[in-house]
Structure 1
Amino acid sequence: MSTEHLDEEMRDVFQEIANVAMGRAADLLARLLNNYVVLPIPVVNLLERNELKMALSSLKSVDSVSAVCQGFVGSRISGEALLIFNDTSFQDIAELTEFKGDITPDIELELLMDIANILIGACLKGLTEQLDVSFSQGQPVLLGQHLNLQDLINNQTGNWKRALTIEIPYRLESRNVDCDLLLLFTEDSLAVLESKVRFMLE
């Protein structure tokens, strides 16, 4: 796997690994909210930073988003998980968690962090088990609430220029809830990831 392109075999394997990890995360979310989670096929790419917005296929037409970022590092692999949440989702999430009362920005933040902890934590755990690696996770960081998607991307933390990206869109059936979990692996991590995957294929 070069830093210029991702060959089909590697893409397929990363897609399958992500599929297993996202399924575990979706199961936890479905149990918490007592609602079926619709899971499309994860999208795997090598992207430049300025191509990030194009990767967020399920949120392209969204007017306002809130987002959380959490870094991870271990086994010579580093990256960050970015959860971007459609702001129209908060009302339904509040109903599903049986929250009573006004949905203030603080309540929205609490709901956002709860969802982020579930999806990011479970996804990374699924990846570490399959790749036989160990990640230390940083503290989740709020990137912003009620932002335009482009403003969010412009303000996104980290100094990466090119990354292996795994986009996992989550949507709840019969509910106006959707978010994108984007896993970004730094360019320096690609060789280690490839060796892990090659070992799995043997």
Structure 2
Amino acid sequence: MSSILNLTEDHRDCLQEITNVAMGQAGDRLARLLGTFVVLSIPHIEVMAPSDIAMALNSIDGNDSVSGVCQGFIGGGISGEAMIIFNDTSFSDLAKLMKYDDELDEHAERELLMDTTNVLFGACLKGIAEQIDLEFSYGPPMVLGQHMHLTEIIQQNNNRWDHALVTEINYQLEGYNVNCDLLIVLTDSSLDILLKKLDYLLY
């Protein structure tokens, strides 16, 4: 955790602003795709262990049924993964917005999950990379689980890191019951380079 401990309030504020811009771009793309207004929370940035994440997602009750997707990224010495957690109550409204008329079975829900995830991950990670002058390569998105408790979804992913810098933002669609949390997890080994990038922007 040595690099993470060097994270100052200025670094946190700078990273929050970078993330805010990138998440805004992702929200704008989603809004144009779905034809509705996207409400974003302020990015929350914290050093976390995997077990902390479930508690940090205040918008999702730990007993709620959720579905999740993750995608790894790497570039310029920075690596991490993006995760998105959807409350399962989102699927029926997502299907309406995506004009999906077929039966909403598990396969259809998986398609909706992946389509929405691709828009958010693509725009958000691209936005962050551009602001810190990097290009990321992406792994294939993977479904962490469908219709599971939040703690079970997080446990699917908790063997990859001990502590990481986690940025979390909540997306909601105005007038619809669609609620998701997007997390960007940066590993401890990436922090030295990230801090240098932030220092360059700050000073």
Write the mapping of 1:30-179 to structure 2, written as runs, cut at 5 A. Answer: 30-60=31-61, 63-156=64-157, 158-179=159-180
Provide the secondary structure at the position in 1 that maps to 2:41. Answer: coil
Partner of 1:26: 27
CA contact (8 A) 2:51 2:158 kept: no
CA contact (8 A) 1:69 1:80 kept: yes
Partner of 2:9: 8
Q: What is the distance in 1 between the residues matched to 2:191 and 2:55?
A: 21
The Cα offsets for residues 28-79 of structure 1, whole Å up to 9 and x where unpaired, read as 0001110000011010111122211122122135610111110001100000
> How far apart are residue 158 of structure 1 and its match?
5.0
CA RMSD of superposed structures (Å): 1.4
Matched residue type, 2:31: A
Provide the secondary structure at the position in 1 that maps to 2:47. Answer: strand
The Cα offsets for residues 165-184 of structure 1, whole Å up to 9 and x where unpaired, read as 11011000111001011000
> How far apart are residue 4 of structure 1 and its match?
3.1
User: Once superposed, which parts of structure 1, at least 4 consecutive aligned residues long, lie more than 2 Å away?
Assistant: 1-7
Structure 1 alignment gaps of length 5 or more? none
TM-score normalised by L of structure 1 = 0.96
> How far apart are residue 97 of structure 1 and its match?
1.3
Matched residue type, 1:13: C
Matched residue type, 1:130: Q
Provide the secondary structure at the position in 2 that maps to 1:65. Answer: strand
Identity %: 50
Deviates more, 1:33-42 or 1:54-63: 54-63
Structure 2 alignment gaps of length 5 or more? none
Number of residue equivalences? 202
Provide the secondary structure at the position in 2 that maps to 1:60. Answer: coil
Q: What is the distance in 1 between the residues matched to 2:123 and 2:202?
A: 24
The Cα offsets for residues 123-155 of structure 1, whole Å up to 9 and x where unpaired, read as 000001100011100000111100111111111
Matched residue type, 1:82: M
Q: What is the distance in 2 between the residues matched to 1:55 and 1:151?
A: 15
